[in-house]
Amino acid sequence: MKAYSLFNKDLASEIRTRYAVNSLAMFILVTISVILFSVGSEKVSENLTGGLFWAVIFFTSMSGLSRAFVSEEERGTALTLQLIASPTTVFSGKLLFNLILVFAMNIVVAALYSTLFDAFIIKNFALFIALFILGNIGIAVSSTIIAAIISKAGSKGTLYPVLSFPILLPLILILIDLTKMAMGGLEAYSAYVELAALVCYNVIMITASYMLFDFIWKD
Amino acid sequence: MKEKLQIIWQMFLLLLLGFVSVAGIAFPVVAKPLSWYEFPLIPGLGENVKIIFFHVPTAWLTVVAFLVSTIYSVKYLREKNPDDDAKAYAAMQIGVIFCILATVTGAVWSKFAWGQYWSWDPRQTSIFALLLIYGALFALRSSIESEDKRAALSAVYSVIAFLTVPFFIFIMPRIMKGLHPGSADDTNKGPILDFKMNSNMLLIFFLSLAGFTLLFYWMWRISYKSIILKDKINKQIN
- The confidence score (pLDDT) of residue B189 equals 43
Query: Is any Cβ of chain A less than 8 angstroms from the Cβ of B67?
Result: no
For B184, the 3-state DSSP assignment is coil
Residue B94 domain-assigned? Answer: yes
For B30, the 3-state DSSP assignment is strand
Cβ B151 vs Cβ B82: under 8 Å = yes
End-to-end CA distance of chain A: 25
Q: What are phi and psi of B144, to 5 degrees?
A: -115, 130
Segment A64-77, tens digit of pLDDT: 888 888 888 888 88
> What was the ipTM of the complex prediction?
0.90
CA-nearest of B12, B29, B5 to B198 is B29
> Domain of B99?
53-237
Q: Where residue B215 falls among pLDDT bands split at 50, 70, 90?
A: very high
Helix H or strand E encompassing B40: strand B39-40
Q: What are phi and psi of B158, to 5 degrees?
A: -70, -30
> pTM, whole model, 2 decimals?
0.88
Segment B59-100, tens digit of pLDDT: 999 999 999 999 999 999 999 999 999 999 999 999 999 999
Number of Cβ within 10 Å of residue B108's Cβ equals 13
- The confidence score (pLDDT) of residue A74 equals 85
- The confidence score (pLDDT) of residue B182 equals 57
How do the residues of chain A divide into helix, strand and coil, expressed in percent and rounded to 5? 85, 0, 15
Q: Which of A62, A69, A146, A169 to mutate to test the interface with B (most CBs of B within 10 A)?
A: A169
Q: Where residue B176 falls among pLDDT bands split at 50, 70, 90?
A: low
Q: Where residue A79 falls among pLDDT bands split at 50, 70, 90?
A: confident
CA atoms lying within 13 Å on the CB side of residue B187: 5
Q: How many domains does chain B have?
A: 1
Query: Is any Cβ of chain B less than 8 angstroms from the Cβ of A52?
Result: no
Percent of chain A with pLDDT over 90: 40
Question: How many CB pairs below 8 A link A and B?
Answer: 83
Amino acid at A18: R
Helix pair A156-184, B122-142: axis angle to 10 deg? 160
**Sequential DSSP letters for A70-120:** HHHHHHT-HHHHHHHS-HHHHHHHHHHHHHHHHHHHHHHHHHHHHHH-TT-
Segment A140-154, tens digit of pLDDT: 999 999 999 999 887
Number of Cβ within 10 Å of residue B69's Cβ equals 28
CA-nearest of B51, B32, B53 to B41 is B32
- The confidence score (pLDDT) of residue B118 equals 86
- The confidence score (pLDDT) of residue B194 equals 47
Residue contact B125–A173, C-beta within 8 A: yes
- The confidence score (pLDDT) of residue B230 equals 93
Segment A87-104, tens digit of pLDDT: 899 999 999 999 999 999
Residue contact B163–A205, C-beta within 8 A: yes
- The confidence score (pLDDT) of residue A85 equals 85
Query: Is any Cβ of chain A less than 8 angstroms from the Cβ of B143?
Result: yes
Residue contact B175–A201, C-beta within 8 A: no
Q: Which of A163, A195, A201, A202 to mutate to test the interface with B (most CBs of B within 10 A)?
A: A163
- Alpha-carbon distance of B106 to B114, in angstroms, equals 11
What are the chain B neighbours of A219 within 8 Å (beta carbons)? 149
C-alpha dist (Å) from residue B128 to A166, B68, B102, B163, B181: 9, 19, 10, 16, 18
Residue B177 domain-assigned? Answer: yes
Domain coordinates of chain A in residue numbers?
Answer: 2-217
Segment B90-143, tens digit of pLDDT: 999 999 999 999 999 999 988 888 888 888 888 888 889 999 999 999 999 999
- Alpha-carbon distance of B182 to A168, in angstroms, equals 26
Residue contact A166–B159, C-beta within 8 A: no
Using CA atoms in the order B101, B96, B62, B190, what is the torsion angle rounded to 10 degrees?
Answer: -30
Of A159, A209, A216, the CB nearest to B139: A159
Percent of chain B with pLDDT over 70: 89
What are the chain B neighbours of A165 within 8 Å (beta carbons)? 132, 136
Residue B69 domain-assigned? Answer: yes
Q: Which of A73, A131, A165, A167 to mutate to test the interface with B (most CBs of B within 10 A)?
A: A167
Q: What is the mean pLDDT of chain B?
A: 84
What are the chain A neighbours of B159 within 8 Å (beta carbons)? 208, 212
Residue B32 domain-assigned? Answer: no
Query: Is any Cβ of chain A less than 8 angstroms from the Cβ of B140?
Result: yes
**Sequential DSSP letters for B187-202:** TTHHHHHTT-S-HHHH
What are the chain B neighbours of A202 within 8 Å (beta carbons)? none
Number of Cβ within 10 Å of residue A47's Cβ equals 14
Give the gyration radius of chain B's Cα atoms.
Answer: 20
For A161, the 3-state DSSP assignment is helix
Strand partners, B91: none
Closest residue in A to B176 (Cα–Cα): A177
B 32-61 near A (Cβ less than 8 A): none
Tell me the mean pLDDT in the region B21-40. 78
The better pLDDT of the pair B220, A43 is held by B220
Residue contact B172–A154, C-beta within 8 A: no
Residue B42 domain-assigned? Answer: no
What are the chain B neighbours of A170 within 8 Å (beta carbons)? 129, 164, 167-168, 171-172
The better pLDDT of the pair B173, A98 is held by A98
- Alpha-carbon distance of B13 to B221, in angstroms, equals 15
Number of Cβ within 10 Å of residue B26's Cβ equals 9
The better pLDDT of the pair A51, B114 is held by A51
- Alpha-carbon distance of B109 to B238, in angstroms, equals 50
Query: Quick check: B190 pLDDT over 50?
Result: no
Of A162, A209, A216, the CB nearest to B153: A216
Query: Is any Cβ of chain B less than 8 angstroms from the Cβ of A159?
Result: yes
Amino acid at A15: I
